[in-house]
């Protein structure tokens, strides 16, 4: 990895000047600042975070990096609930935050994607805008996890990391257990025997975990896993409606469906009612998240509850510790069933 000396040599300045460019750019003339930052970018130099912490150079700003499609911020109440609780926790702390997101898919450009590359984020951090990052959403963040984790940059993630790295902690609900509880609730409390599932977006860890929990729940209840009772969704309402229609078109015995998030569950309810079927008399439906949408569907949605406020508190506590160079242990929160009328 390039050193402070390498940058100084490339920029034709002293080590002390490079340090001032990083920590106190207002004290550096514009020509030197420009030349030194160019050298930093060319060499992809990332300062030692521990050394910066010792100098007390902090912005008290945290970047919230959102890896989902930007539209899901207003289409999926889950994100609004979590981010609102995050801002409440930031207001209680000594930290502030910036929200960082890329455009929705159809508006994406090579330039906007480059803005989310590991190189661009390294430079963003290097410029001193933020002291650390909270990652939200799954998206395509594997490269960033691997690169920034290797640089020991303060990061706390919501959800399990795609790349195992002991330097990065995470906060998450127990997705496997939650899906298992949903199936066991349907089988034991509601006596359902033909339980289908609408899985989440293929390739995401949260979808994999909830599908694993679904299969485990069936096994624990003595029920067989059938591929014909599994449909792939994408965490959107339209995707949930589409997947539910796929299940109904297969004409397999089905008296319940576990849906991997509430937004898809709302779409599943739309599809079931459009076929003239009744919920829960003909098909019970249970979602996951217990997001605000669960209170607005008809019938109201039974869902796996996860503690948004506690998770938000732990995310902010975690990034505070990481910025200070302290260890933050990953935390997986327990979940439970929130009973309403759909099951």
pLDDT over threshold 50, residue 50 = no
DSSP letters along 102-150, please? Answer: PPPGGG--HHHHHTTSHHHHHHHHHTTS-SEEEEES-SS-HHHHHHHHH
Q: What are the extents of the domains in the chain? A: 4-45, 59-171+308-335, 175-305
Q: Mean pLDDT across the stretch 133-144?
A: 78
Q: Is the separation of the CB atoms in 266 and 222 below 8 Å?
A: no
Class of domain 175-305: alpha beta
Which run of H or of E encompasses 170?
strand 169-173
Which CATH number does the domain 59-171+308-335 belong to among 3.40.50.2300, 3.30.930.10, 1.10.260.40, 1.20.1440.230? 3.40.50.2300
Q: What is the reported pLDDT for 55?
A: 52
- Range from 51-55, 181-185, 216-220 carrying the lowest mean pLDDT: 51-55
Q: Do domains 59-171+308-335 and 175-305 have the same CATH topology?
A: yes
Q: What is the reported pLDDT for 166?
A: 76
pTM comes to 0.79
């Amino acid at each position: 990895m390039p050193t402070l000396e390498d940058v100084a040599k490339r920029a034709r300045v002293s080590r002390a000047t490079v340090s001032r460019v990083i920590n106190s750019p207002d004290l550096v003339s514009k020509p030197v600042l420009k030349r030194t930052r160019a050298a930093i970018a060319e060499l992809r130099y990332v300062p030692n975070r521990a050394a910066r912490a010792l100098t007390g150079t902090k912005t008290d700003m945290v970047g919230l990096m959102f890896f989902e499609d930007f539209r899901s911020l207003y289409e999926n109440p889950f994100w609004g609930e979590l981010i609102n609780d995050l801002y409440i926790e930031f207001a209680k702390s000594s930290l502030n935050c910036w929200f960082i997101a890329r455009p929705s898919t159809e508006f994406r450009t090579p330039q906007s994607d480059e803005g989310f590359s590991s190189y661009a984020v390294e430079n963003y951090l290097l410029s001193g805008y933020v002291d650390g990052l909270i990652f939200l959403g799954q998206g395509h963040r594997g490269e960033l996890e691997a690169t920034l984790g290797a640089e020991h940059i303060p990061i706390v993630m919501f959800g399990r990391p795609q790349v195992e790295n002991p330097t990065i902690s995470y906060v998450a609900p127990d997705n496997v257990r939650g899906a298992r509880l949903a199936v066991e609730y349907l089988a034991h409390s509601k006596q359902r025997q033909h339980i289908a599932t609408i899985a989440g977006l293929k390739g995401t860890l949260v979808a994999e975990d909830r599908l694993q929990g679904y299969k485990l729940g069936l096994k624990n209840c003595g029920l067989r896993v059938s591929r014909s009772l599994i449909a792939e969704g994408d965490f959107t309402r339209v995707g949930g409606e589409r997947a539910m229609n796929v299940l109904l078109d297969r004409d397999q015995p089905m008296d319940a469906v576990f849906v991997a998030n509430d937004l898809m569950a709302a779409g599943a309810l739309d599809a079931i009612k459009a076929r003239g079927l009744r919920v829960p008399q003909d098909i019970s439906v249970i979602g996951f998240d217990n997001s605000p949408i669960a209170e607005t569907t008809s019938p109201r949605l039974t869902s796996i509850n996860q503690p948004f406020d506690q998770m938000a508190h732990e995310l902010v506590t975690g990034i505070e510790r990481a910025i200070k160079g302290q260890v933050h242990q990953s935390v997986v929160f327990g979940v439970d069933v929130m009973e309403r009328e759909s099951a």
